[in-house]
Amino acid sequence: MITREMIRETLHDEFIRPTYERKNFIGIEIEIPIVNLDKDPVNFDVVHEVTARFSRQFGDFKSNGIDYDGNVFSLKNGNNDDIVCYDCSYNNIEFAMGREKELFSINDRFSEYYAFTKEAFEEYNHTLTGMGINPYRKYNESVPIPSERYLMLYHHLKSYSRYLDKPMYFHNYPEYGMFSSASQVQLDVYKDDLVQTINVFSKIEPIKALLFSNSVLFEENNHITCFRDALWEYSTHGINPHNIGMYDVDFKSINDLQSYQESLNIYCVMRDGAYINFPTMNLYDYFKMESVTGEIYDNGEYREIEIKPCIRDIEYLRPFKFINLTFRGTVEFRSVCTQPISDSMSVSAFHLGLNGRLDELEELINNDDVIYHKGYNASELRKLLIQDELPSFVDGNGICKLSRDVVDLASAGLEERGLGEEVFLKPLYERIRQHTNPGKNIIDSVNRGVPIEKLIWEYGKLSGI
């Protein structure tokens, strides 16, 4: 019998215990849309050819992921743990950079990989661009990579019609993982700083929306600057709202945080190397069941299978919070869209700098009266601030000053490191000066008649620091 105490202890071992060790590393993942400039679907044969060319160019990268059709979807460098792979589908490439203690070496390697890959794609009239939603998604084939993980994920997202008894709205984009892209940062966190890190960073999500939004659902919704938020919230991942988005609570202790983890849903496990989907349910409900009926992919189709819950299934607990605590002892920041490529390092620089200024950041936000103390919590404010126009109760100059104060703190944190990394924050100061962000710039440009092709090119440019 699996008891509550066993569940709590296992959650602690999986997510809290790794924070007992003091470390100071940075991990970065940048997902990037692939665009076929012929306005045809992305040619997967081209994708596979570019992958092979990348492997030949960068000989330290070896295959560590092959799909059911025999195609490589992931390459890993065994020397520095960099990974170049495809995320959810062959319409989206990801550069997952191995952990480092500073940003310049990450930026140098990313720039080299990106420049080679972009040039290779452009030989076939494809390109890469720094947008959080693929601007040519309507031309693409919405098919997942034929692999265990991505077939499982898409099967789960497509199952929303089974949950129509739930009091929530579901959008009609279960394939959204195949056209949406994020820029994610992982920072090591020590247990004594864990609660404050999550509490304080949660409260600046509205400011991050103003600075980084870059996911416009082009030709369908041209007034939301970060439509990615809705894609996660109104999918099967959002059936339990604790699994996505923000926390909207102030944790007083690690015990509070563990209690929150116990409120999460689980929807998949693995048995004998194969994923099994089942109706999403709370952890406690799952573990009190004698058996669970799930579905397993078998020779091109799904069949039912009975499994018995075991305590190690907690390894497959997969929340998609804006701020995730991982099994690596890191805090993963997930709410930022892919940025224009020349600005890619601004995301990691922002979080890394603020991570060294938590006390000052907490004081700044607690004393703010520009957006806070107006009757709205952080989640509500973020929903308001991902629109192309500010809500009427927000003073434009005031929120620009607040945003600048936050970025100034990030800059101070980076300056204290003494490595010159504050240079990566320059794009954020320019956005504040112009009262804009990449998503708003897309909306304004399209409304002025600027061709989306011009924006695809501009957002895909790589510029050196």
Q: Which helix (H) or strand (E) holds 323?
A: strand 323-325
Question: Are 435 and 396 within 8 A, CB to CB?
Answer: yes
Q: Sort 209 into a burial class: Cβ within 10 Å, 0-12 / 13-18 / 19+.
A: buried
Asked whether the CA dihedral 231, 342, 400, 356 is positive or negative, the reply is positive
How far is Cα of residue 185 from the mean position of the Cα atoms in its chain?
8
The structure's pTM equals 0.96
Phi, psi of 129 (to 5 degrees): -145, 155
Name the one residue in this structure whose structure tokens are 């002892």.
329
Q: Sort 25 into a burial class: Cβ within 10 Å, 0-12 / 13-18 / 19+.
A: middle
pLDDT of residue 54: 98
Helices (H), 319-424: 345-355, 358-366, 378-385, 396-417
- CA nearest to 243, candidates 258, 264, 262: 264
pLDDT of residue 465: 59
CA 323 vs CA 61, 232, 414, 451: distances in Å: 30, 14, 21, 35
CA-CA distance, 283 to 262, in Å (whole number)? 6
Q: Which helix (H) or strand (E) holds 301?
A: strand 301-307
pLDDT of residue 235: 97
CA-CA distance, 146 to 152, in Å (whole number)? 10
Specify the DSSP class assigned to residue 180.
Answer: B
Rg (CA), the chain: 22
Question: Are 203 and 379 within 8 A, CB to CB?
Answer: no
CA-CA distance, 265 to 225, in Å (whole number)? 29
CA-CA distance, 126 to 340, in Å (whole number)? 17
Phi, psi of 378 (to 5 degrees): -65, -40
* Single-letter code of the amino acid located at 159: S
CA-CA distance, 300 to 313, in Å (whole number)? 25
Beta strand 323-325 pairing with 26-36? unpaired
Beta-bridge partners for 184: 29
Q: What is the pLDDT along the chain (465 residues), one digit of tens a residue?
A: 899 999 999 999 999 999 999 999 999 999 999 999 999 999 999 999 999 999 999 999 999 999 999 999 999 999 999 999 999 999 999 999 999 999 999 999 999 999 999 999 999 999 999 999 999 999 999 999 999 999 999 999 999 999 988 889 999 999 999 999 999 999 999 999 999 999 999 999 999 999 999 999 998 988 999 999 999 999 999 999 999 999 999 999 999 999 999 999 999 999 999 999 999 999 999 999 999 999 999 888 899 999 999 999 999 998 999 999 999 999 999 999 999 999 999 999 999 999 999 999 999 999 999 999 999 999 999 999 999 999 999 999 999 999 999 999 999 999 999 999 999 999 999 999 999 999 999 999 999 999 999 999 999 999 865
CA-CA distance, 426 to 423, in Å (whole number)? 6
pLDDT of residue 300: 86
CA-CA distance, 188 to 19, in Å (whole number)? 8
pLDDT of residue 464: 61
Beta strand 244-245 pairing with 183-188? unpaired
Structure-block tokens of residue 3: 């008891």
Name the one residue in this structure whose structure tokens are 């940062």.
185
Which domains are present in the chain?
A: 4-264+319-460 (3.30.590.20)
CA-CA distance, 436 to 210, in Å (whole number)? 8
Residues 6+ apart with CB under 8 A from 291: 306, 307, 308, 309
CA 132 vs CA 32, 63, 142, 441: distances in Å: 8, 27, 17, 13
pLDDT of residue 165: 85
Q: For residue 196, count other CB atoms closer than 10 A to its CB.
A: 15
Q: Given 3-state DSSP classes, what are the helix, strand and coil percentages for the chain, each rounded to the nearest 5?
A: 45, 20, 35
How far is the first Cα of the chain from the last one, in angstroms, to the nearest whole number?
A: 57
- CA nearest to 439, candidates 179, 230, 216, 207: 216
Q: Strand locations in 108-227, DSSP E?
A: 126-128, 183-188
CA 99 vs CA 27, 83, 178, 192: distances in Å: 5, 11, 26, 22
Structure-block tokens of residue 182: 């994020």
